[in-house]
A and B are shown apart, each in its own frame.
Chain A
Amino acid sequence: MTTLRDDTVATPAKVGNEPVITLRGVEKYFPVREGVFQQVVGHVRAVDNVSFEIPRGQTVGLVGESGCGKTTLGRCIAGLTDATGGGIYFRLSVADRQFLDQVDAIPQEQRTQEQRDRVERLERAHRIDRLKGDAWRTYRRNCQFVFQDAFSSLNPRQLVKDIVGRPLKVYKEASGPGLTERVVGLLESVGLGRQHLYRYPHEFSGGQRQRISIARALALDPEFIVLDEPTSALDVSVQSQILNLLHELQQERGLTYLFITHDLGVVRLMSDDIVVMYLGEVMEHATSEELFASPRHPYTDALLAANPDLLSDGDEDTEMRGLEGTLPDPARPPRGCRFHTRCPVATPRCGWEVDDAVAWLLDNATVLDGLSGVERATDFDSVLRFGDEAAAGEAASLLESSDVPASMRTAMVELGTDGAQLRIRFEEVDAVRLEDVGGGHTTSCILHTSQSAGS
């Protein structure tokens, strides 16, 4: 079967590999509450419009730094928390996914009854938050999770036998001596043994505890496992043991992994495909070799520059570079490309807005102490009111100075004072989209795609 692609869903070509998990525009918003009555004043967009597929038998790596939403996404996929938008599908064929995408493009009222019925059928059969009864149980058994902290993910009051044997009991697969034998088999498959059956988790080292977690995840012989930073808490020498074990198990059992990590070295080693996330959105998606050989997003570049050993075997002393600035507020993500506020190669068309100018003033001057009000027409066009004319003038001259990043200065199409008021208007741009740049490699950076953000 050939894989057709369109612009909205990223699907690296994997001929013959039907996906186990399909994400279509997944969103997870957490309400922000304030005040005595706990009104919802906004939403933290932990995961925003994420689409990709996890093909059977493969490992998809999900990389990003803290706060990028990778763990939240993993929890959504494992059914630990419900997505607030979009859909996560289990065993949805590529053809069906394409059908859903096609129907999505048709306005609601123009859809035929036949189309609606088929959508409904597909959603009921595949969308995990709509699965019921046996379908839910099938998904539940086949999608397991390994947590980062193997200490807090093992009940301290249960013996290893009860922990590893519990899934078998829940699904009434085994009991009595049969259960014990199954557990011993599982323990042996992760390098532990019969002598560990009747011990408590605290009697084990970190690496061994992670092995117990893996044994539990394997108990029901699942198809798919979400690995949430499974080795981040471990020492290097133990990490390599666990990584080898995971690879071995995948080979033996044909497992599919979603490997969540912040460690690029680990993700490259373990993954076929890599999805790079930043502030809740996918920045880039490519095969592992492709991503490391020719990254097409400045954020991926930045991650690689922070760990230059990954690009060479370390003989020459490549310089290590980091990123300026801090992660923006996920409740009010930047317009345009979310990375533009910290991007070293940002252009005037990357989404500069009034908030960026205000943030720059806050970080570099004290003139905003005299700010008395803001009239926001749009995110790109606002009037700042100051206490006096001098302050407004000073703010204007500061924003015109060469200290301001050139791309931001260029993007400012209007900057004028009117008494104590300062009007700032930026060129308006659209949100960026993931676009294919060849061979299933998708990126959202406008420098690498045909999209020219702007109206």
Chain B
Amino acid sequence: MTAAAPATAGEKTAALVASVEDLRVHFELKAGVLHAVDGVSFDIADGETLGLVGETGCGKSVTARSFLRLIPTPPGRYAGGRIRFWPKEARQSGGEPVDLLQVPTSDMLDIRGNRIAMIFQDPGKALNPALPIREQVAEVFYQHRTEDLLEAWNGRAPRPIRRAASQRAGKLERLAFKFPPLRSQSKRLKRRVDELVGDALAETQIHNPRKIMASYPHELSGGMKQRVMIAQALACNPDLLIADEPTTALDVTIQARILELIRELQHAHQTSVLYISHDLSLVRRICDRIAVMYAGRIAEIGTTQQVFHDPRHPYTQGLLAAVPSFAHRRGELAAIEGTVPELIDPDPSCRFHTRCAFATDICGRVDPVLDGRVAGRPVACHGYASPEELGVAAAELPHLDRSPA
């Protein structure tokens, strides 16, 4: 709990949903220790959509999965830092946050899908092919919203029904549901489940929820499956929705629909969203703020406006210039030469220095800090560092063109 919290001072915690501080996730591989996430810090404010952008292998998915402790250990290891999370009650009453890396597994099970929900890139893999959609969405209600299911009983539901509502009914009880007096009550419960599942699906603009509920995943298109995933994720009104490349597997026209949907639902529920993507033009349409990741670290954080119109980190600048856009001519696409460095047992250095046009000697020797003092917002680049603190002459720092077009 003594981890340094650079750039995320404790004062602003009142409005935060989550705060990642110096997160380190390592993987023990045969070749050495892979520093997949190496000192990542950012905050997610209540009701905001934060984009976590970066290319393959930058650690954005590992960061996202760390929120729910979904990294298999071993080979993975949470090597440091913390992820503090303020559930709704804590935010309202100024209560203490929980550290998602430390909470007991039983509490984590209650957080997963209930307080923090996640949607994945490939909805085809996230849905069970052997169960109809109804059962899969109902699962969430059985797990986390038993009281809602039993609303009609005003807290006087018989024990077997209560157990059925959390899917703990035994064989005998299920047999008893076939006969009076439990029969009608069990039917009532089933109707209630149908109602809630139907509502959840309808909210994601599925026109005929009844038909979808009876379908199996393979009968649905990719876009429809992703809607079901979103319905499932939002069923419990979570405090935080983590969307891990939710539209990457979809066609562009469908992708646009899903993006709109997520944005609408985010507004309606006031849910905070951590939106992970490699696609800059997408995050720009949905996010309030953007954190750019490169090789296991945050390169810079800023509002969408700032990142797109005034990118500070050379990597962000290169990335934006590399997207084929209106202004480009054939053969003149700005490319970032070289490839992402190996993250196995890396030496202290700016991870981007091998590909950076501005890199100087110091970039290959010293880890840059995610510092907002010179740049005005958090940027991890020696070009924005103070020479005094690094103990070098100002001329030794990379000289960036600090007035981007």
Render B89-120 as a binary contact track against A, CB cut-off 8 A, 1 for contact.
00000000000000000000000000000000
Docked Cα-Cα span, A207 to B328, in Å, equals 21
Task: With A208-B339, A364-B208 as known contacts, state yes or no: A306 contacts B253, CB within 8 Å.
Answer: yes
Beta-carbon contact of A323 and B325 below 8 Å: no
Is the CB–CB distance between B335 and A314 below 8 Å? no
In the assembled complex, the CB of A332 is this many whole angstroms from the nearest CB of chain B, namely 16
Residues of A within 8 A of B (CB): 65-66, 205-208, 235-241, 243-244, 247-248, 251, 262-266, 268-270, 302-303, 305-307, 309-314, 320-324, 326-327, 362-366
Complex Cα distance A367/B279, Å? 42
Are the C-beta atoms of A237 and B211 separated by less than 8 Å?
Answer: no
Residue among B328, B335, B340 having the largest count of chain A Cβ atoms under 10 Å:
B335
Decide if A314 touches B331 in the complex (CB within 8 Å): no
Interface size on B, residues (CB 8 A): 45
CA distance A312 to B281 in the complex (A): 12
Q: Does B280 contact A (CB under 8 A)?
A: yes
Residues from chain A with a CB closer than 8 A to the CB of B330 are 247, 269-270
B224 surroundings in chain A (CB, below 8 A): 326
| Interface status of B221 (Cβ within 8 A of chain A) | yes
| B328 contacts A237, C-beta separation under 8 Å | no
Secondary structure call for the A interface: helix
8 Å CB contact of B324 from A243, A302, A322, A363: A243
4 shortest interchain CB distances as A-B pairs? A322-B256, A322-B257, A247-B331, A323-B253
Q: Are B335 and A237 in contact (CB under 8 A)?
A: yes
Can you name 12 extra interface pairs (CB under 8 A) apart from A244-B331, A306-B256, A311-B326? A205-B339, A208-B339, A240-B324, A240-B334, A241-B335, A265-B323, A302-B253, A305-B256, A306-B253, A306-B255, A323-B254, A362-B208
Interface string of B201-214 (1 = CB under 8 A from A): 00000011011000
| Nearest CB of B to A445, in Å | 16
Contact status of A366 and B210, CB under 8 A, knowing A236-B323, A302-B253, A321-B256: yes
- Asked if A236 and B55 make an inter-chain contact with CB atoms under 8 angstroms apart, the answer reads yes
| B4 proximal to A (CB < 8 A) | no
Selected A-B contacts with CB under 8 Å, 29 pairs? A205-B339, A235-B55, A235-B56, A236-B278, A236-B280, A236-B319, A237-B55, A240-B333, A241-B336, A248-B331, A262-B252, A303-B253, A305-B256, A307-B281, A309-B281, A310-B325, A310-B326, A313-B326, A313-B327, A314-B281, A314-B284, A320-B259, A322-B254, A322-B258, A323-B256, A326-B223, A364-B207, A364-B208, A366-B210
Q: Among B255, B278, B337, which residue has its beta carbon within 8 angstroms of that of A235?
A: B278
Contact indicator A243/B333 (Cβ below 8 Å): yes
Name the B residues within 8 Å of A66 (CB-CB): 251
Closest B residue, CB atoms, query A360: B207
Q: Which of B56, B260, B324 has most A Cβ within 10 Å?
A: B324
Q: Which of A238, A307, A326 contacts B339 (CB 8 A)?
A: A238
A269 CA / B328 CA spacing, docked (Å): 7
